[in-house]
Structure 1
Amino acid sequence: MLRRIRVYKALYKKYHDPNSVFIYQMGKVGSTALEQSIDNAIHIHNFYSRTHPCSLRLKGLAGFGWRYYCKRLEQELELLIKRLAFRARAHTKIITLVRPAQERNVSMFFHDLDCYLYALYSNCDRTSTPPLATRTQDPAVLIKAFETHYDHSYPLTWFDYEFKKMTGIDIYAENFDKERGVMYRKNNKYDVMCIDIKQLRDCEKPLSTFLNQTVVLDGANQADHKWYGVLYRQFKKEYVPATQLVKLLSNSKYTAHFFK
């Protein structure tokens, strides 16, 4: 118990540290390279379990039986501590990034590929799709897992369900400069810089000015260099999304605000 209390105190201190800079975004939008280039950076995707980038992994990490409920309580407590520390800060600088929804979804899917394949064969997330027989191992299972078990609307709602809820800032309230790929928003407690990942390399100087420190970006976290790199490249080349999915993403306010 004492060890756990020390862990929670350290977690609160980390998130309350006035020197911390928050890279607060939805995941798979180039944030790892940015984190490694910024002093005192904290990289976070969610302060609420509802907006965890992979709910299957969150629940899977909790284990089984009575341990599941204990671990889930612990996970929620950690999120609560992060929220309390974050909100207790006098002033916070935040960098958030955006990426076209379909690109981001494919990248996130492969990042958590093990979870979605397990869901495909077990239907552990209780979708309307029955579990696939384990003898079915043809390459099309990747497409089936992506289409039936992945939450494609996640990037479309993240700024409303997560970012606005936590900071009070409506990222859609002002126009995004699509040519420069950057916008700034602020309120009494938070200064926000929002960047299009495709123009991140051109933002080293604006980032340095915003943070009052020199920022030099590297090329970390490229999916092509990961174990699933070959599959990832093949999937991006061959996958053709259904018309309904294309409409969902292209007609969203997220896509219209940042990319159209």
Structure 2
Amino acid sequence: MICIVYTMGKVGSTAISRAIKAAGLRCYDIHTMKDAALAGREPLPWHEEVSKARQAATSGDGLVITVARDPVARNLSGFFENLALYAPEGLSKPHHAIDVFLEKYSHQIPTNWFQREMLGELGVDLFSQPFDHKTRLQVHEGSPRVVAFRDDTADDVKSLTLSHEFGKTITIGRERTSAEKPYGELYRLTVESAWAFLPASYLDEMYDNDYVRHFWTPAEIAALRSKWSAA
């Protein structure tokens, strides 16, 4: 069986794909199958990987694995990963980082990803079947078969689930986090103080949508919002 790790960026997909490859299985790790994302660009090796991944997924020969993450946390991580793009002059203070983040980042990436990619490209409506909030796991029956985790799903649950799916031992390990990267200190300070700078309207946008309501319970959503809120 071929594995397709098909996720938005900054959700921990690398740890999953590396563990699967370490078990000797073929695995594609991609963030988009949209033709528009590839159109007009010089062909690159990952373009071919996207084509092969799409073929495996649509032919029924592949298992698709995807991951959801708190949209605010994911967006902050994505912003800092591409900090040179959004702030080429550099940043030194958390409140300045939040100002640039709110002004320049594409905040709808996580909230729209499953509709745009999973449904739009593979015809899979994950939201039509329930997510198990206790195990933080969903197995979508159909073609292709899809296993969905949250980024905070326990590593042993991810490992056991994928070991069962592939019939081989899969051990999910830890990857380097944003806090451990060169921008880590400013990232850490910004995350710790973001509650003081993120407006309520932004939190409304991030947490009042089908994506969040599918993967998190009302109580969990309230806790996430509280984490980022001064109220």
TM-score by length of 1: 0.72
Structure 2 counterpart of 1:131? none
Structure 2 counterpart of 1:157? 112
- DSSP-derived class of the 1:207 partner: helix
Structure 1 counterpart of 2:216? 259
1:102 aligns with 2:63: no
Check conservation: 1:208, 1:215, Cα contact below 8 A.
Answer: yes
1:191 to 125, 142, 145: 145
Question: Measured at CA, do residues 104 and 234 of structure 1 come closer, stay the same or move farther in structure 2, by a change above 3 Å?
Answer: same
Residue 137 of structure 1, CA deviation? 6.9
Residues 22-64 of structure 1 show CA distances to partners (whole Å, capped at 9, x for unaligned) of: 1110011111111111022211001126569xxxxxxxxxxxx
1:221 aligns with 2:176: yes
Residues 57-113 of structure 1 show CA distances to partners (whole Å, capped at 9, x for unaligned) of: xxxxxxxxxxxxxx9342599748834762364421011011111111111111111
1:105 partner letter: N
1:206 to 161, 167, 171: 161
Structure 2 counterpart of 1:114? 84
**Residue correspondence of structure 1 range 62-211 to structure 2 within 5 A:** 72-75=40-43, 79=47, 82-83=50-51, 86-87=54-55, 89-118=59-88, 140-188=95-143, 190-201=144-155, 202-211=157-166
1:244 aligns with 2:212: no
1:34 aligns with 2:4: no
2:32 partner letter: N
- DSSP-derived class of the 1:183 partner: strand
**Taking every aligned residue pair, what percent have the same amino acid on both sides?**
25
Check conservation: 2:93, 2:186, Cα contact below 8 A.
Answer: no
Question: Measured at CA, do residues 51 and 195 of structure 1 come closer, stay the same or move farther in structure 2, by a change above 3 Å?
Answer: farther
Structure 1 spans left out of the alignment, 5+ residues = 1-18, 53-70, 119-133
1:28 partner letter: K
Residue 20 of structure 1, CA deviation? 3.0
2:166 partner letter: L
TM-score by length of 2: 0.80
- DSSP-derived class of the 2:8 partner: coil
Structure 2 counterpart of 1:56? none
Comparing 138-147 with 19-28, greater Cα deviation is found at 138-147
Once residues 139 and 32 of structure 1 are traced to their aligned partners in structure 2, the CA distance between those partners, rounded to angstroms, is 27
1:87 partner letter: Q
Residues 155-193 of structure 1 show CA distances to partners (whole Å, capped at 9, x for unaligned) of: 0110011111221100111111111100111323x1110
Structure 2 spans left out of the alignment, 5+ residues = 218-231
Once residues 136 and 28 of structure 1 are traced to their aligned partners in structure 2, the CA distance between those partners, rounded to angstroms, is 21
Once residues 114 and 90 of structure 2 are traced to their aligned partners in structure 1, the CA distance between those partners, rounded to angstroms, is 40
1:45 aligns with 2:31: yes
Question: Measured at CA, do residues 259 and 138 of structure 1 come closer, stay the same or move farther in structure 2, by a change above 3 Å?
Answer: closer
Once residues 117 and 93 of structure 2 are traced to their aligned partners in structure 1, the CA distance between those partners, rounded to angstroms, is 37
- When Rg is computed on C-alpha atoms for both structures, the one with the higher figure is 1
Comparing 31-40 with 75-84, greater Cα deviation is found at 75-84
RMSD (CA atoms): 2.7
Check conservation: 2:98, 2:194, Cα contact below 8 A.
Answer: yes
Give aligned pairs, total: 208
